[in-house]
Chain A
């Protein structure tokens, strides 16, 4: 993985020193909260319901064992012994004190981590496919371009005060696991007819109050031109994006208002201007230098089938279940991709204790080249594990309470922190996710239901990606009482769609029954081979509506 060079080190060290001074001045009363707030936000420090929250950037979701161990230590030392993985592949600490922040981020810097650009109206952490480098059919490791974008966008003076925050995601396979069509900019790495690598660029996607699927504005941007193209797109947005109304300030609104064709024209015109100057051409040597950081580990030559694994699976049904549900085919024979569910039945989606972080770090070190990924679905992934080691990995994960075999099933829900933690939330998300997973705890039933993504947000900002859940749940505040609206038919992959609102919402004591009614209706009417989303796309809202709002 990428290692800091002298510039990265210096930049992070200087930022720590600067923030230490700012915190000291605030605590001594030398500067006011109005003066301090933008400064703390630039360092990922939010004020939530019960305490401060620190959002730690995990660039494109990749972490080393060493980094995860440090996060475990910091969570124990400065927090309450746990962290929360978010839908942007970052990690949040829920209870650190402001007075401790300078030491906390100084310690983070020792493992090449920081909280820069995890808040504010700038280019945020670039997210990617959690199977990067391991997925079948991948054009190249998407993290190469993620890292280049990270370096280009860090402290970029022109893009430090955009109209609003800006999120970029990159995918390098046809099947999109990075949700690129619901990002401000989504990039797909692909090859043209001549076998050259380039980029398809989607602009103006997003969730929140106004969910919109992005538009394909660039069909094939050549590698050397990508940064110029991104700069052109960001410049058009920076000049023309609305600053008068924060609800209309994202790039998706601009694209929606001026239209796809006009956006394309403006970006291309700006791109031509930049290209004429020729200053932002990405040199091959630099790409190669970055590429070397993401070189595949030294895979052994192995037969794809492992007799040891087959024997273990035959012997132990629980293990076999886990292998089938939580591991995925790797591009290299004899290896597997292992998903670690952070969704135990009745647990908090995305939460992980310090002890669990340490267990995962140890297992990664032993069996996964000391590296792991955070997935935007709030799970973790070991990208490269020998099939013959799966048993040992499973045993280690089981001992740490991390072997729930539910990846992609109904209990593998995305949920934002909601009103249990978040100052913006209108309703709780976590208790709902817990109740749903308990209601559908029976694994046999979960398997029968098949792949089904339930996404829950506690407010319209949609951190829980409810619009693109097969079933989405949005918590709203109805005169001080929590109320939940349901959408059906959303998807975040290459056939992205925004879910349809089914009808009036439900109170917290009725919502889980409503979800059960929807799932049971699907089980009644599905056809052979269909998952929930297929059935929904075939029949639409009506059959679900009829059942849900039937008067008896």
Chain B
């Protein structure tokens, strides 16, 4: 999944898909996987990103998640974070053509 990471990215969060149902999850500061992006831990700069990625990859041998990777975020107007790419914005919310489905419909945005 490395192809979704942007080289020059500064502020990043870590995402994966939950093994048993494929649902998109984010790594939190206390090493849990949350369905909400706003719960995600945020890494600023290369070193923090490497540490965040390492924490996520430690789960790869487990039965929790698959496809762990970093993605770029920025601060939003509510003091939270927002994904920079269309792809991650869609992953986080659900299909743009089905607002009745996915996290956008489940109050998990």
Contact = CB atoms under 8 A, between A and B. Distances in A.
Contacts of A477: 87
Interface residues of A, number: 31
Contacts of A52: 21-22
Contacts of A99: 20-21
A209 interface: no
Given A33-B66, A480-B85, A480-B86, A50 B22 contact: yes
B90 A49 contact: yes
A463 interface: no
Interface of B is mostly: loop
Contact of A420 (B17, B20, B24, B95): B95
Given A97-B22, A480-B84, A431 B96 contact: yes
Interface in A10-27: 26-27
Nearest to A37: B66
Contacts of B85: 480
Nearest to A482: B86
B91 to A, nearest CB: 5
A48 B17 CA distance: 9
A481 interface: yes
B108 to A, nearest CB: 12
A252 interface: no
A55 interface: no
Interface string B81-109: 00011110011001111100110000000
Q: Give chain B's interface residue range (CB within 8 Å of chain A).
A: 20 to 34
A112 B17 CA distance: 31
B61 A32 contact: yes
B84 A98 contact: no
A421 interface: yes
A420 B96 contact: yes
Contacts of B60: 32-33
Most B-side CB within 10 Å, residue of A28, A50, A481: A50
Interface of A: 26-29, 32-33, 47-52, 80, 95, 97-99, 348, 419-421, 425, 427-428, 430-431, 434, 477, 480-482
16 contacts: A29-B63, A33-B19, A50-B91, A50-B95, A50-B102, A51-B21, A52-B21, A52-B22, A97-B21, A98-B20, A348-B97, A419-B90, A420-B90, A425-B87, A428-B86, A434-B97
